[in-house]
Amino acid sequence: MYRYYDAPFKIVKDGISLTLEQEGERLLYRSVYADKRVEKILLADRGKVLINPIEPLNKPRELTSYLLIEFERTLVVEPGSTKSIFVTYPIEIGVFIAGSNQFELIDILTLAKQKFTLYGDPRSGVICKYWKSEVYSSIPAVNPLHEGIIELSITNTTTGWVEVTKAIFNAYGMKIYYNDNLVSMRATMKIMSGRSAETDFVDAPLEEGMKKSLELYTVRRLPVVAPKFVMEVGI
């Protein structure tokens, strides 16, 4: 599903219906999924549309740029070691209209469950998009329209064993890659103490031949904030 499309086209998959029809000199875009319906008239010469996964922080509302993934099972990390795990994250699909070397977002869809949480206390904490994931030792088979995979490389720089129950990522650093079967990101987590860690992203695909997604958080605005996230009140 993730690729360029020329108008007219119709995609029906996993309960999502996307159409772009020529209506005289204008284009009619329509998306229907779950109980949501969007219709837009595009006044464009060319009907070239890009559909790709985007940072999962826009639905139901853009309240935060942080994604918190809580692990189903607690990880206990050996001191001084670096280990990789795989976790899932919710997928949001961005529909962009392409023209004159510019892309404009016209729609965002998601089939994933939406939930938010608070990291820290109400005064100094941050609101995060919430997702709960099982921890895998290899790439799990998931539906790329529903879930993506993050390969998380965890480095314990401390001298003691550390328990990790969650990871928080900043959308401004996300580097999403996709192919027909997989949507992925690669991230790192550097444990600095029993309660703090720093997360970042690696700009590399999980498998060879994957395409890079158009990043919404750099298309819409320049990143004036650091793409890393420092978890200071518990990991």
Write out the residues near other proteins by the rule CB under 8 A: 60-61, 63-64, 113-119, 122-123, 125-127, 130, 220-222, 224
Q: For the CB of residue 132, give the shortest distance to other proteins in the complex, in Å.
A: 9
Structure tokens belonging to residue 219: 């298309």
Measured from the CB atom, the residue of 99 and 223 that comes closer to other proteins is: 223
Q: For the CB of residue 62, give the shortest distance to other proteins in the complex, in Å.
A: 11
Amino acid at 228: K
Measured from the CB atom, the residue of 153 and 234 that comes closer to other proteins is: 234
Q: For the CB of residue 191, give the shortest distance to other proteins in the complex, in Å.
A: 21
Measured from the CB atom, the residue of 116 and 136 that comes closer to other proteins is: 116
Strands 197-202 and 147-156: unpaired
Structure tokens belonging to residue 105: 């977002």
Measured from the CB atom, the residue of 25 and 121 that comes closer to other proteins is: 121
Q: For the CB of residue 105, give the shortest distance to other proteins in the complex, in Å.
A: 14
Amino acid at 2: Y
Q: What single DSSP character describes residue 171?
A: G
**Inter-residue contact 68 to 131 (CB < 8 Å):** yes
Closest CA to 38 of 23, 56, 24, 20: 20
Q: For the CB of residue 61, give the shortest distance to other proteins in the complex, in Å.
A: 7
Measured from the CB atom, the residue of 5 and 119 that comes closer to other proteins is: 119
Count CB atoms within 10 A of the CB of residue 55.
26
Phi, psi at 172, each rounded to 5°: -70, -15
